[in-house]
Amino acid sequence: MSLKNAPVPMPEKRVTYKKGPNGTIYVYLTVRAYRNKNGKPTSDEVAIGKKDTITGQLIPNRRYYELFQSAKPAKLHVPVPQRVQSSGNIASLMEIANQTGLSDILQKCFPDKWDKMIACAFYMISEGNVMMYIDDWFDETNVKFTDRMNDVECSKLFSSITEEERNNFFKNWIRVKGEQEYIAYDITSISTYSRKIDIAEWGYNRDNDALPQVNLGMYYGVTSHMPIYYNLYNGSIPDKSYLEFMMTDANSLGILDACFVLDRAFVTESNFNYMYENGFDFITAMPGNRLEAQRLIDKSKHNIRKSANRISEYGLYGLSHQVQMYGNKLQAHIYYDPEKQAFDEKELYAHIERLRVDLENMNKAKRVSKKYKDYYTIDNSVQDKFIFELDTAKVDEKLERSGYFILLSSKPELNSSEVLKIYRERDVIEKNFEQFKNRLDFKRIRAHWRKTMEGKVFIGFLALIIRAYMRRKIKDDPQTKHLTFEKIMIELRKIKSVTLSDMREVLIPLTKQQKTILSVLSVTPEALTA
């Protein structure tokens, strides 16, 4: 660029802008203002150049120098761009961390390393948890609150986070959240290639990975839609066996007066007795194959489809009975869903057909298991051949119970509609397990040592808090509810700030969509270059 065409300061007065067809912004100077013969104000304008969209300055033309004789090109000191970085993503994530109270708690609990921890959490939200490329991310992102890091420094950071520090964080986080709410509890598994993590063991792997795993139990706020607490434990321990430990642990951290929303897998005598003895309220689904469930359905099926029992919000019917399970009084809420009934019936006959094909292909040497005898009568009297016939009475019995499901509650004051609403909100934890494992890339843990793994999962939990809160803000606003989280991050990443040679920072003009997103997230334009 010649000095003659180098950007110069924009005149402060009498300037107007006109946008050309290709997006170029042309700058005009008013050289005369007057009233025409009809008395209406008008003016004469002269084009003096184009606006530099990066610096906001004027790229002058020849007419500019004719009008501004003192602006000699050779004497101009023109700041030039030195560095272009993403600013929208980092400013928005920090704003969310401030809104949730997370940044204050981290500064309190980790005064000497909170900045590096939150930077790693921001990186995981933006790029996943493969820390190998974090130094490139620092180059491309306008991070001012901490120093540049590489993957080796990240590993040292993860290893430095102690169990005592994590527990101190959870106590403060639970206290700041402060809500007495329904808490969803569930478990997922994280696979690992490492043989040096002692709690990584073979167990039921939810992702069908042929790898040892670590189990992760998490508490999630049904009302707030926010992660509350998690714990890691041995991969071989069955889910239902760990509930007692999680509840005791959470109680010691300050989770009090909560009602736990549990999956049917946790319906065991020991879990029920423990919750009752320790005063924990709960809502859970009742396994449909239990005799108690079948009796309740049979007791209710002639009365449930009444207009008084209709729950119009969900298009189904519900009523309740007091029951006893393992010696404890519970309220059983029985529901009939016509749509579920149609689906169950279709699935039942598809299952029966698969069993029929299996039986036809069996030879006499094979043993017929119970799953076939639940639907077919089997005759073994003919040599080298199975004779089987559909047991229509058993099939009809199953059809009679299709479309039903049962929820159990220790809170008798809740009606069937309220219990169903609370239980259906439980899917937030399943959705966030998906976010944690697939979006934050924790399906497999990439760490060789237990301390590193524990610290990395903790940073991932911080990232999940920020991501969950941010997603809810996006989905709750009609202006952005149609956008995915990934699309939001792409738009924020495209917001660039330019550092000039005189150390000033200027922002590249924002699009309408970018302004909308920033407004929804409560991020001011000033925060983008702060």
Query: Distances from the Cα of 43 to the Cαs of 29, 40, 62, 502, in angstroms?
Result: 10, 10, 21, 37
Q: Which of 200-209, 336-345, 413-422 has the lowest mean pLDDT?
A: 200-209
Amino acid at 267: V
pLDDT, position 11: 85
Q: What digits encode the pLDDT tens for the residues 196-247?
A: 676 666 766 666 666 778 888 888 888 888 899 988 877 677 767 778 778 8
Q: Kindly tell me if the per-residue pLDDT of 266 is higher than 80.
A: yes
If pLDDT is split at 50, 70 and 90, which confidence band does 3 have? very low
pLDDT, position 80: 62
Residue of 257 and 475 predicted with greater confidence: 475
Share of the chain above pLDDT 90, in %: 44
Query: Distances from the Cα of 194 to the Cαs of 419, 449, 451, 453, in angstroms?
Result: 43, 8, 13, 10
If pLDDT is split at 50, 70 and 90, which confidence band does 379 have? confident
Quick check: 49 and 59 in contact, CB under 8 A?
Answer: yes
If pLDDT is split at 50, 70 and 90, which confidence band does 1 have? very low
d(CA 452, CA 158): 5
pLDDT, position 364: 63
Quick check: 242 and 165 in contact, CB under 8 A?
Answer: no
Q: What digits encode the pLDDT tens for the residues 451-470?
A: 888 999 999 999 999 999 99
If pLDDT is split at 50, 70 and 90, which confidence band does 54 have? confident
d(CA 315, CA 215): 37
pLDDT, position 516: 95
3-class secondary-structure state, position 51: strand
d(CA 158, CA 153): 9
pLDDT, position 386: 73
Q: Which of 83-97, 126-140, 181-195, 404-418 has the lowest mean pLDDT?
A: 181-195
If pLDDT is split at 50, 70 and 90, which confidence band does 255 have? confident
Query: Distances from the Cα of 335 to the Cαs of 51, 266, 274, 345, in angstroms?
Result: 66, 20, 27, 16
pLDDT, position 497: 87
Amino acid at 71: A
Residues, the chain: 530
Residue of 3 and 310 predicted with greater confidence: 310
Mean pLDDT throughout 346-373?
Answer: 85
Q: Kindly tell me if the per-residue pLDDT of 528 is higher than 90.
A: no
pLDDT, position 210: 64
d(CA 436, CA 33): 63
pLDDT, position 2: 44
Strand boundaries in 52-152, DSSP class E? 58-60, 81-86
Q: Kindly tell me if the per-residue pLDDT of 6 is higher than 80.
A: no
Mean pLDDT throughout 7-25?
Answer: 84
Mean pLDDT throughout 98-121?
Answer: 96
Quick check: 148 and 138 in contact, CB under 8 A?
Answer: yes
3-class secondary-structure state, position 218: strand
Mean pLDDT throughout 11-28?
Answer: 86
If pLDDT is split at 50, 70 and 90, which confidence band does 118 have? very high
Quick check: 271 and 247 in contact, CB under 8 A?
Answer: no
If pLDDT is split at 50, 70 and 90, which confidence band does 10 have? confident
Which residues, other chains included, contact 13 with Cβ-Cβ below 8 Å and sequence gap of 6+?
A: none
Share of the chain above pLDDT 70, in %: 90
d(CA 287, CA 417): 20
